[in-house]
Amino acid sequence: MLYFLIWLLRPTPVSTLAAEYPLTPCRAECTIDVNPSVLARNGDPLHLEWSIESGNESDFIGFFAPPFRSATYDDYVMLFRPHMIGASEHTVSLTNLRAPFYDVRYISATTGQCLCRANERLRFEMGHREPTQGHVTMDTTTGALKVHWVSGDPNPGFVEYKAAGDADWSMRHATVATYDFHDMCGGEVDNYYDPGYFYSATLPGDLKGEVTVRFGSISYRSEAFTIATPVPPGSDEVHSVALFGDMGVQSFFRGPDKVEVPNGRWDTYWVQDHMRANPRLRMAVHFGDVSYAMGRSRVWDLFGTAVEDVAMRMPYMVSVGNHEFDYVGGGWHPSWGNFGMDSGGECGVPTKHRYQFPYWWYTFSFGLVRYVMLSSEHDWTEGSEQWQWLDEQLAEVDRSVTPWVIVTAHRPMLVSGYDPSERAVEDHMYPALGPLLKKHRVNLFVAGHWHYYERTHPVKGTVHVLAGSAGAYDLHDVFEDLPRVAARWPDVRGYLELKVTKDELEGTFWGINNTMTDRRMAVFDHFTVAPWAEGPVEILHTEVL
């Protein structure tokens, strides 16, 4: 029996796999050498060297993985353009897509033809069974850590953990779920690939300090990660939280600005790199427009791999934006809204399987703060289910335990950027939700959607921050000159670091733009918020750098 099981689990020879997935023809006008051809783990580095006598500056080296949807060049997973590298070699980090192999091709920009392919097909040692894309969330009721991962193997999974000082590993079993194309709400079937299986295991709620975890199955385990446990509700331990929206995938590949993936242009590398190196951060709050997959399954795999080093260091709390949820044939479509097909038919299904939040809107406590995660993509008008829930939740906050209240949503209520379709939504949103912020003395409202940074002075007591700048890149040049605006940085990518103490909230906007030659994140805005205790909230001092 044992030998039969080993035979079942044996890797399929690459020659057999290639026969099952016919490759598009390639010429022999160049060479590509790859090393290694077998990668040990998801995200491992791959070195490429290439040689071509003449090429176009728009030519690219693309990474393709079966099942192939098209015989043309537009079926790529990711690509880079050799002329941008300035050399004939480059190193990238490769994502395990649970595909049998990668085919690397040099594509002519003028003809779309494959001029050559790599000398070897690439594969991963653990194949589709590797546990990948680890990330941590927090049980919104108990505060216990929840560890999530993705694998192509539906067999029983578990997480092993040990607190500092423990000699032995303890174990918690995982639940597993998946979805298919028919669980979503339309979109293009050619963009859909098997998403794998989504595992989730909850750790004991009484763990303190740091905990080391690894996850997977009996035969296939992840590497070990060290996670900071959540700050308990009511604890006055000083800590920082990262708040941001609109990240997407540029990727963490070695050589930022060198790798492109489907669906846009991003500057996420710098933001992710700064967050993973910031020792003050204890939690990340990502309010919508997460991966920008928009129906392209493999973009979720790329995002999950790119953000793993951040999301396995601290709880990574997520809510949906228009590019996760909006779809036609369902959802919320008020006559004045612009809620279209922005999710590419996903209707929140991939997001909820990965991050497993309890509902489209939810709340939780972390230290001295009560966080409220709204969904701007569901009905929030006065009297709606979400509006009533928000009113009730804010009324129930115990300010002796969590004196600070922060509300987040993907879309902002107040912003100086002008677009007619967006302004129509904002003109309805603030009259509906603004009175609740004032009534319940909310300290801070943070949102994204617009891809830049902005902060207001207190508006009826609440400071509004726009931080939809974690990677999505477009330049907006139509702004209104509004006296409530205290700071605005239209062309800067970055995130808001919020330091929490019992006396104040201290905000720092870390950013980077294309004029900064050293490409290091710098402080663009700094502000401090005082409590409501003595009347309306005041910004004690403002320093725009």
Query: What are φ and ψ of residue 85, in 5° steps?
Result: -75, -35
Query: What are φ and ψ of residue 192, in 5° steps?
Result: -95, 135
Question: DSSP label at 1?
Answer: -
Architecture of domain 225-544: 4-Layer Sandwich (3.60)
> Which residues touch 167 (CB under 8 Å, ≥6 apart)?
none
Per-residue burial over 450-465, b if 16 or more Cβ lie within 10 Å, else e, is: bbbbbbbebbebbbbb
Report strand pairing: 493-500 vs 485-489.
unpaired
Class of 129-216 per CATH? mainly beta
Architecture of domain 14-125: Sandwich (2.60)
CA-to-CA distance for 303 and 328, rounded, in angstroms?
Answer: 25
Q: Find the angle CA(139)-CA(271)-CA(260) to the nearest 5 degrees.
A: 110
User: Which of 53, 55, 52, 50 lies closest to 33 in space, CA to CA?
Assistant: 50
CA-to-CA distance for 271 and 472, rounded, in angstroms?
Answer: 11
CB 51 within 8 A of CB 33: no
pLDDT for 54: 83
Burial of 232 (0-12, 13-18, 19+ CB in 10 A): middle
User: Which of 421, 309, 319 lies closest to 372 in space, CA to CA?
Assistant: 319
CA-to-CA distance for 317 and 310, rounded, in angstroms?
Answer: 12
pLDDT for 55: 84
CB 503 within 8 A of CB 485: no
Q: Fill in the amino acid letter for 401.
A: V
Backbone Cα Rg of the chain: 24
CA 36 to chain centre: 28
pLDDT for 533: 55
Q: Helix 420-439 crosses helix 385-395 at what angle (to 10 degrees)?
A: 30
Whole-structure pTM value: 0.92
Total residue count of the chain as it appears in this document: 545
Per-residue pLDDT tens listing for the chain (545 residues): 333 333 333 344 443 444 578 888 999 999 999 999 999 999 999 999 999 988 888 899 999 999 988 766 578 898 888 988 878 999 999 999 999 999 999 999 899 999 999 999 999 999 999 999 999 999 999 999 999 999 999 999 999 999 988 999 999 999 999 999 999 998 889 889 999 999 999 999 999 999 999 999 999 999 999 999 999 999 999 999 999 999 998 743 434 445 677 654 556 778 999 999 999 999 999 999 999 999 999 999 999 999 999 999 999 999 999 999 999 989 999 999 999 999 999 999 999 999 999 999 999 999 999 999 999 999 999 999 999 999 999 999 999 999 999 999 999 999 999 999 999 999 999 999 999 999 999 999 999 999 999 999 999 999 999 999 998 877 777 999 999 999 999 989 999 999 999 999 999 999 988 777 666 889 999 999 999 855 444 443 333 32
CA 467 to chain centre: 14
> Which residues touch 200 (CB under 8 Å, ≥6 apart)?
146, 147, 148, 174, 175, 176, 356
- What is the domain partition of the chain in residue ranges? 14-125, 129-216, 225-544
CA-to-CA distance for 88 and 114, rounded, in angstroms?
Answer: 18
Per-residue burial over 81-111, b if 16 or more Cβ lie within 10 Å, else e, is: bbeeeeeeebebbbbbbbbbbbbbbbbbeee
* Sheet architecture: strand order including 522-529: 316-319, 281-287, 239-244, 493-500, 505-512, 522-529, 539-544
Topology match between the domains 14-125 and 129-216: yes
Q: Find the angle CA(44)-CA(71)-CA(107) to the nearest 5 degrees.
A: 60
